[in-house]
Chain A
Amino acid sequence: MKLHNRRTFIKKSAALGALAASGLLNSAPANSAWLAENFRPGKLDQTLRQLFKDAALNETDKITIKIPQIAENGAVVPITISSSLDAVQRIFILVEKNPVPLAAQFDLSPELLPFVSARIKMAETSDVIVIAQSNGAFYRAKERVKVTIGGCGG
């Protein structure tokens, strides 16, 4: 009896594993640019380490973040980023206290000005961190946003 139970348990767990694997495959289409590791739920520190390894993040005032200081609705927080740094190749938007800290990564070609607007969700009051990559160096700016209704309710 005991053996039988264990057999069925093993069978079931194998089936579950297969299901999970196929589910994972479905959720990751042939999409080379999107890296699951970058969008993994976790703490901000872990995401920063994943994205930038040990690269220095220089605090700068050359990145302008336009975002409301008090967001009434965390589900829709408009953000506009512009920068006076030259040759900005990448802009990252991170929200410190969201379950998945990285909101978006923009890879910009030289035909675009260092400017992006988006609308992000914020689970709770936290810092919004913008990191720009320019000539191989990383620059960071942040802005605190107070959220009165969280964005988790959708």
Chain B
Amino acid sequence: MSSIKIRSKRIDGNTQIRTLIAHPMEHGRNRDPMTNALIPAHFIQELIVKHNDKIVATCTMGASISKDPYFAFLLKGGEPGDKITISWVDNLGGQDVEEHLLK
């Protein structure tokens, strides 16, 4: 199952794109409560939003973004059947991608 969930909604002729990603977003300063060992940093560094294969947003982030990141954007216009693709890459080389068609 993909780590990315995408929802879209028409608002006044524009399209709101919301995404929720399952990711720990560890900043590397937390300790494991059981072993007291530092939990290594593990966070998304880059998130790319594409509209019909054209990049519309490139987001770079640090670990100051909350666990299980949520983002929302507003796309001008947007037609039913348009494809939204969201992908991320984290600091350990992990990545995921998900597609969504506007209704």
Contact = CB atoms under 8 A, between A and B. Distances in A.
B24 to A, nearest CB: 9
Interface residues of A, number: 41
Contact of A27 (B30, B89, B91): B91
A135 interface: no
Nearest to A118: B71
A44 interface: no
Contacts of A57: none
Interface string A102-125: 111111110111011111110000
A56 interface: no
Interface string B64-80: 11110111111110000
The secondary-structure label for the interface of chain B is: strand
B54 A98 contact: no
A39 interface: yes
Contacts of B51: 111
Contacts of B76: 111-113
A34 B67 contact: no
B3 interface: no
B15 to A, nearest CB: 10
Contact of A100 (B25, B57, B63, B92): B63
A103 B59 CA distance: 10
Nearest to A100: B62
B37 to A, nearest CB: 14
Contacts of B64: 95, 98, 100, 102-104, 120-121
Given A109-B54, A109-B56, A109-B57, A118 B70 contact: yes
Contacts of B73: 108, 112, 115-117
B89 A29 contact: yes
7 contacts: A26-B93, A33-B58, A95-B64, A103-B61, A109-B54, A112-B73, A121-B27
Interface of B: 14, 18, 25-27, 29-30, 41, 45-46, 51, 54-67, 69-76, 89, 91-93
- Complex A-B, nearest 10 residue pairs according to Cβ-Cβ distance, in ascending order: A117-B72, A103-B64, A104-B61, A39-B62, A113-B74, A119-B66, A34-B45, A115-B74, A107-B58, A29-B93
